[in-house]
Amino acid sequence: MTNAPGFAEGFLKRVVCHACGATKAKRSATAFVYCDYCASLTDWDFQIAISDPRSKLPGPMYEAAVARVSGALATALASGDRARYLELQREIFAAYVEACPASVPPRCGDPTYRAAFIEYSAEGATRTAFNPQARANVEAMNAAVKKLKWEQTITGTKVESKSFWFMFEAVKTVTDGAKDEPELKHPDGAPLELLRKMSMSILAQGWIPYLTEHDTNLLLSTTGLASEYIQAPQVTLHATKCGQCGGALSIPEGAKRCLCESCGYVMTQAGGPIKCTTCGAAISVPEGTSTFACSFCKTELRAMRW
C-alpha cells in the first residue's frame, strides 16, 4: 500500500537515542523502547503493546478501584481539594500498574521506579483536571474522536480524511498544551520534547493501518516521523545475566548501561560483567549497588569501582 513503517521480520523502526545518539540495535521486548547502549527511554512501540496479552484492558479489579474512588474524585474536584484528588489518582495508577504490566515501563519492576512512575502519572492527571484549559482541550479531543467517519475502500476500512485531520489537530492541541505547564519530571528523565514526540509516534503507529497512502505520508511528514523500518544493523552482542533476577541479557558492544526487561532494573556496564567467584556465572551489576547476591548460587558478591 505504501512505504510507511511495516513490521516484517528482521526489521525495526529506526530510533535514535536522545541522550547518547545511538541507533536502536535490537528489537524491544516491551512497548516502552529503551536505548541498548545507555538504557534511556527513547520511544513507544504500538504493535508490541497491542500484541502483548499483558497489555489487555485493565479488567474488573482495576475497574472496581476506579468505581470505588470516582465519587470522591468528583467531590475533590468540585471543592478544589487538589491534595485529595492527587491521593485518589495515586490509588488509580497503582491499580493500573498492577493490572496492565505491558502498558507501563518495564522499569516498574523496580519498586523505587514504580513509585516515581505512579507519582508522575497521578500528578499529570491532577494538573489536567485542575487546569480549565487543559480539561477543555481533552474534552474537545474526545468529542473529535466521536465524530470520526469511516469509509469502505478496496483495501479495507479507512477513516475519512477530513474527520481524521480534525481529530489530529485536537490531539496535537492536547499534546502541545503541556508546554504551558511547569515541566513535570519524568521518572526516566525524558525531556518534554521527547514525550511530545512519543505521543505523536503512538498516534501515527495506531492510525497508519486506517489511513490512505496520501494521508499516511502526510501524517509522517507532519509529525516528523518519516523514518521507515530498516534492516536491523549487525552488532556484536555479549551474553550475560541480570544481577537482580538472573534473566538473560544480550548487550551490544560499547554499551554503558542496560535495562533488564524481565525485572525492570538497570544494570551498569562500566568495566563489563563480573564473574561469580563460586559458580563462574557472568553477571551484570545492578546500578546503584556494590554488594549483591549471585542470581544462581546466591554467593554474596562485591563490585569494586574506582
* pLDDT at position 213: 83
pLDDT band at 9 (very low <50, low <70, confident <90, very high): very low
* C-alpha–C-alpha distance, residues 72 and 66, integer Å: 10
Q: Which of 12-21, 203-212, 241-250 has the lowest mean pLDDT?
A: 12-21
43-47, 48-52, 117-121, 219-223, range with the lowest pLDDT: 48-52
Least confident interval from 1-5, 24-28, 102-106, 169-173? 1-5
Max Cα–Cα distance, the chain, nearest Å:
66
Distance CA 105, CA 83 (A): 26
Cell 484549559: give the residue: 133
Could you tell me the CA-to-CA distances from 131 to 135, 137, 142 in Å, in that order?
A: 6, 10, 17
Whole-angstrom distance, CA of residue 197 vs CA of residue 226: 12
- What pLDDT does residue 98 have? 87
Each residue of 183-213: pLDDT tens digit? 789 999 998 888 888 888 888 888 888 998 8
User: String of b and e for 187-204 (b: at least 16 CB within 10 Å)?
Assistant: bbebeeebbbbbbbbbbb
User: pLDDT band at 295, cuts 50/70/90?
Assistant: confident
